[in-house]
Amino acid sequence: MKAGAFFIPVALAFLFHGSLAHAQNRRGGNPPEPPTLKGKVAAYEADASITIETKVRGGQTNKTEFTIVKGKTQIELGAGVKAIEVGITASVWAEKDTPKVAAKVVAEPEPPTVKGKVVAYEADSSITVETPAGRGREAGKVEFSIVKGKTRIELGGGAKAIEVGMTVSVYADKDNPKAAAKILAQGVAPGGRGRGGSGAAPADKGENPKPDAPKAEDAVDAKKVLAAYDSLKRECDLRVYQLRWAQNYKEAKEVAAKENRPILISASGNMHGNTFTGHT
């Protein structure tokens, strides 16, 4: 398969990043086992325990504690999550035999308040994000103030700076919903579209974490990786492989006898060496 043929589906995959992953799960395939519990982390002690808070009817909350066993409980941090902390959303899979012990804990990426295209941006001042129409929601523009030294800006997907036209996720300040606590820039996806789609994200209710929330720390871009791979291969001088090489001496003798061709053996006298691969 040619590199280009591989590249296109990946580029497409990024255009539809997230939604297709969800769609695939909906279609069946190999859906992951659901967690025992998802909710806000109410308490956490590394290598000891984690308490998950979940909402129940009537606005009440339940707290469930799981034991964490060092070297046994698997901890996974979602994109952009540096550590498990009180207040973040986490999923816990309990041990089948000992339900009070966590087999796996996954810290979920926090969904943004708004995700969309930047239509206006002034450094250390404000950002306006355009959110397209979605299910039960009209298109609109949302402006957030940017507070120097307080609003955290993270650049991912190869983005060098926030620019008009790129896709960003904005996390509002909990105490001041009109101010941005954090802005994640995802760069521009293959084809010029913002990566990861766009649209306003629902407020985090602590019970429906979004595994496909933006990749905050994702500085690796699939398109660039595949382009670099392709470019590296193309710049290699492969003239030596225009010769009719056999993979080994045995194969050379078989092909030579069958096709009535002479053989040239290029023998290395080093302790190891192979003029075919080039590691002579």
Partner 1 sequence: MASAGRGFLYNEKVHQLLKGFIVVSANTQDQSVPDHAEFRELLKKIGVTDAKGSLGDVLGSQGAGNVYFILLDPQGEIVHYWGLTSIDELAKGVAKLKAPPPPVEESQAKLTLPDLCASSDPGVPSGLRLFFRARGEAGWNANAMTIVQPVPMKADEWKALSYSDRPREIDAEFFRACVTEIFPGAIRAASSPRAPGFASKLPGTLKLEPAGSDEKFRYALLHGPVQLFYTRSLGNKAEPSEPKFSGTLQAVVKYGLTTPEVHSLRGMIDGNYLYMPGPNGTFKMTAAVESRPE
Of the residues 99, 141, 143, 245, which one makes contact with partner 1 according to CB under 8 A: 245
Q: Which of residues 215-234 bind partner 1 (CB under 8 A)?
A: 215, 218, 220, 222, 225-226, 228-230, 232-233
Shortest distance (Å) from residue 121 CB to partner 1: 27
Q: Which tokens hold the place of 91?
A: 């999923």
Q: Which is nearer to partner 1, 138 or 237 (CB)?
A: 237
Q: Does 83 bind partner 1 (CB under 8 A)?
A: no
Q: Does 250 bind partner 1 (CB under 8 A)?
A: yes
At position 68, the amino acid (one-letter code) is I
Q: Which of residues 252-271 bind partner 1 (CB under 8 A)?
A: 252-253, 255-257, 259-271
Shortest distance (Å) from residue 36 CB to partner 1: 15
Q: Which is nearer to partner 1, 146 or 215 (CB)?
A: 215
Counting other chains too, the contacts that 147-152 makes at CB distance below 8 Å and 24 or more residues apart are: 147/179, 147/180, 148/124, 150/179, 150/181, 151/179, 151/180, 151/181, 151/182, 151/183, 152/181, 152/182, 152/183
Q: Does 12 bind partner 1 (CB under 8 A)?
A: yes
Of the residues 90, 102, 103, 106, which one makes contact with partner 1 according to CB under 8 A: 106
Q: Does 238 bind partner 1 (CB under 8 A)?
A: yes
Q: Which of residues 153-172 bind partner 1 (CB under 8 A)?
A: none
Q: How far apart are CA 118 and CA 164, in angstroms?
A: 5
User: In this structure, are residues 89 and 206 in contact, taking their beta carbons and an 8 Å threshold?
Assistant: yes
At position 228, the amino acid (one-letter code) is A
Query: 238: helix, coil or strand?
Result: coil
